Amino acid sequence: MSSGSAAELLPPAPTLPRLREAAASCRACPLWENATQTVFGEGRAAARTVFVGEQPGDKEDLAGAPFVGPAGRVLDDALAQAGIDRAAVYVTNAVKHFKWEPRGKRRIHAKPSWSEMAACRPWLDAELAVVKPRVLVCLGATAAQSLLGRQFRVTRERGRWVESELAEYVTATIHPSAILRQRDDASRHAEMEAFVADLRLVASVLRNDDGGP
């Protein structure tokens, strides 16, 4: 069964554990069929910052947790360099099942479609409604366009605050896997520096924000 939206699966009085449990059996779009499990967001409901990626990758699909593979290691490293404690942030994805294509024995990431993102959006909206972050960070174009509009261009608008109803402070930066895709060490290093610089903006607001309205 594929109803086209996860909305009807939302539990009454949602909490993160209830949402996670409900999302585990979601079949609102076809992506569940070829994936191992739903990869729900991870972190505390009290987190002040939410990071949103695209979708789980191969390792995340197997582990059932977001950003635990190679891209997650880049994210961890960049967060540490920027002075942000990963344990204090909530990390999730725009789409909760791994979309992939076979290449030999490997499963290669495939970009989720607009309708798959729309189908999955109620889970992300529900996570944001429970966590109510002060700061929301979109990692890469998929998350940014899903949350900030299809016109949003990460290359042009990364690393600055954008006006949004979603949180007091909202920004977008590149996806950590874009760093891994760089061809040589020099470009990888440059992209990492720029990524960390964007995250320092987040760190500075977290240091100075008093949590007020």
Please give the residue ranges that form the binding site for ligand SF4 (CB under 6 A). Answer: 6, 23, 26-29, 31-32, 38, 95-97, 116, 119-120, 123
Out of ligand URA, ligand SF4, none, which partner does residue 97 contact, by CB within 5 to 8 A per kind? ligand SF4
Q: Does 53 bind ligand URA (CB under 6 A)?
A: yes
β-pair type (100-103, 106-109):
antiparallel
CB of 83 to ligand URA, least distance (A): 22
Indicate the residue whose CB is closest to ligand URA. 53
Q: How far apart are the first and last CA of the chain?
A: 42
Decide if 180 contacts 74 (C-beta within 8 A). Answer: yes
Q: In this structure, are residues 153 and 67 in contact, taking their beta carbons and an 8 Å threshold?
A: no
Q: Which part of the chain contacts ligand URA (CB under 6 A), choosing from 4-12, 65-73, 110-118, 189-197?
A: 65-73
Closer residue to ligand SF4 (CB): 55 or 173: 55
- Joined together, the tokens standing for residue 1 give 């069964």
The SS3 assignment for 43 reads coil
Nearer to ligand SF4, 68 or 199 (CB): 68
| Phi, psi angles (nearest 5°) of residue 64 | 80, 20
What does the alpha-carbon distance between residue 174 and residue 47 come to, in Å, rounded to a whole number?
Answer: 22
By beta-carbon proximity to ligand URA, the closer residue of 36 and 209 is 36
Q: Which residues contact 129 (CB under 8 A, 6 or more apart)?
A: 14
Q: Does 43 bind ligand URA (CB under 6 A)?
A: no
Task: Please say whether the dihedral angle defined by the alpha carbons of residues 140, 142, 146 and 151, taken in this order, is positive or negative.
Answer: positive
Give 74 or 201: the residue with its C-beta nearer to ligand URA.
74
Question: In angstroms, rounded to a whole number, what is the distance separating the alpha carbons of residues 98 and 180?
Answer: 19
71 binds ligand URA (CB under 6 A): yes
Q: Which stretch binds ligand URA (CB under 6 A): 21-29, 60-68, 81-89, 201-209?
A: 60-68
Interior angle at CA 41, CA 58 and CA 155, nearest 5: 75
Question: Among ligand URA, ligand SF4, none, what binds residue 191 when CB lies within 5 to 8 Å by partner kind?
Answer: none
- Cβ nearer to ligand URA, comparing 69 with 133: 69
Q: Which residues bind ligand URA (CB under 6 A)?
A: 53-57, 60, 66-67, 69, 71-72, 93, 177
